[in-house]
């Protein structure tokens, strides 16, 4: 596979990255041996971009990555770290923080947990409601000048916030949920803005939190995802699973799985929509090989049209998250120029 530059002047990466959230308590318990093997398998296969956050497992995820990196691996790995998600002692999320003092404090602890002298890409997980993005990015830019951070990233922000942040310091990439089931970044100007400014896109949720794996055909018991992901709610699930089934013959015709087809679709959005890197969220080593095979699937323009006809952008039932979680997403507020105005 050919590497691609993650934004103008950004690092060279494969079209696939490894998302490590599921290896900690962020989405449920995981076997640490499998998690460590998954990270090492990815690095050995050339997947260098590892995505984490200081609040995944309240530090556990960073510590896990540190333990997974063998001698020489740190030089290969590109560590993308999110900060700003505040958690209470019971594990609940209690707020979003973006003040400059917090930025520097959070980085200090991440450097210690990861046992490294720099972070390759550092980004706020969400736009803090009471701190101008200029202040947050300005603090990261100071850390870049000091040598503690290599590149600045953003996550779940809209076009106006991207422009304001980019005016303070060049942005390497914007992390956003983007998949066959989450096409809003196409309509709300996020992808166009990133392409215009030479900013990469790291797309997470590429398998629709499990819906697009092709293995999820019906709920088993009380699926906790239905409580915070409306697309898993019984009112929406049948519609969404029917859409997945429309992809199955297209995947079968190519001798690949539905998950591989969905992954290949995300990767195929480059270069038309700028540099797009698919973030695979897995904690199983064998999934790395499957995803890398998907990255080698060449989808023609005709293939992409057929997939779009099978799963139109507006056909998915249910919003990405419940209303309280949606309210935290600057990316969902559209291109209104008043968004993110100083408080």
Q: Which residue has the tokens 């998950």?
A: 259
Q: What is the SS3 assignment for 43? A: helix
Instruction: Read off the pLDDT of residues 209-237 as tens digits, 9 standing for 90 and up.
Output: 999 998 887 766 677 788 889 999 989 99
How far is 180 from 34, CA to CA, in rounded Å? 28
pLDDT at 337 over 90: no
Report whether the peptide linkage leading into residue 50 is cis, meaning its omega lies within 30 degrees of zero.
Answer: no
Distance CA 41, CA 127 (A): 33
> Which residue would you say has higher pLDDT here, 333 or 125?
125
Of 101 and 334, the structure prediction assigns the larger pLDDT to 101
What are the catalytic residues? 56
Q: Are strands 16-19 and 276-281 parallel, antiparallel or unpaired?
A: parallel
Q: Would you state the CATH architecture of domain 4-219+262-299?
A: Alpha-Beta Barrel (3.20)
Residues in CB range of 67: below 8 A, 6 or more apart? 36
Percent of the chain exceeding pLDDT 70 equals 94
Phi, psi of 174 (to 5 degrees): -115, 125
Per-residue pLDDT tens digits for 253-311: 999 999 999 999 999 998 887 899 999 999 999 999 999 999 999 999 999 999 999 99
106-156 tens-digit pLDDT? 999 999 999 999 999 999 999 999 999 999 999 999 999 999 999 999 999
**Which residues are CB-neighbours of 55 under 8 A, at least 6 positions away?**
82, 83, 85, 86, 87, 93, 125
Instruction: Check residue 140 and give its pLDDT.
Output: 98
Q: Is the model's pLDDT at 15 over the cut of 90?
A: yes
* CA–CA distance, 103 with 12 (Å, rounded to integer): 26
- On whether the CB atoms of residues 173 and 7 are closer than 8 A, the answer is yes
Record the tokens describing residue 54, joined without a space: 């200081």
* pLDDT for 217: 77
| Percent of the chain predicted with pLDDT > 90 | 85
Long-range contacts of 320-323 (CB under 8 A, 24+ apart): 320/177, 320/182, 320/184, 320/205, 320/229, 320/230, 320/231, 321/228, 321/229, 321/230, 322/227, 322/228, 322/229, 322/230
Is 21:9 a contact under the CB 8 Å cutoff?
A: no
């Amino acid at each position: 596979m050919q590497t691609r530059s993650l934004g103008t002047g950004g690092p060279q990466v494969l079209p696939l990255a490894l998302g490590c959230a599921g290896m900690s308590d962020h989405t449920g318990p995981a076997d640490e041996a499998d998690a460590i093997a998954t990270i090492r398998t990815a690095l050995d296969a050339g997947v260098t971009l590892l995505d984490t956050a200081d609040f995944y497992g309240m530090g556990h995820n960073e510590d896990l990555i540190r333990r997974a990196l063998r001698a020489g691996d740190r030089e290969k790995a590109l560590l993308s770290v999110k900060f700003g998600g505040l958690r209470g002692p019971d594990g609940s999320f209690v707020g979003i923080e973006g003040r400059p003092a917090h930025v520097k404090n959070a980085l200090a602890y991440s450097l210690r947990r990861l046992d490294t002298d720099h972070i390759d890409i550092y980004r706020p997980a969400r736009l803090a409601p009471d701190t101008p993005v200029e202040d947050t990015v300005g603090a990261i830019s100071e850390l870049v000048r000091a040598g503690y951070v290599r590149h600045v990233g953003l996550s779940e922000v809209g076009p106006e916030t991207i422009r304001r942040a980019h005016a303070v310091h060049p942005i390497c990439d914007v992390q956003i949920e983007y998949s066959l089931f989450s096409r809003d970044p196409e309509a709300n100007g996020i992808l166009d803005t990133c392409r215009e400014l030479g900013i990469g896109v790291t797309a997470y949720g590429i398998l629709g939190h499990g819906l697009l794996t092709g293995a999820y055909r019906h709920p088993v018991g009380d699926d906790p995802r239905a409580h915070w992901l409306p697309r898993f709610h019984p009112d929406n699930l049948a519609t969404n699973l029917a859409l997945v089934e429309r992809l199955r013959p297209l995947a079968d015709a190519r001798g690949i799985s539905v998950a591989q087809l969905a992954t290949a679709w995300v990767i195929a959005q480059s270069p038309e929509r700028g540099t797009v890197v698919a973030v695979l969220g897995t904690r199983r080593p064998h999934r790395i090989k499957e995803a890398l095979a998907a990255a080698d699937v060449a989808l023609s323009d005709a293939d992409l049209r057929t997939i779009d006809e099978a799963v139109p952008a507006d056909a998915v039932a249910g919003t990405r998250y419940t209303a309280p979680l949606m309210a935290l997403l600057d990316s969902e507020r559209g291109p209104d120029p008043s968004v993110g105005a100083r408080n």
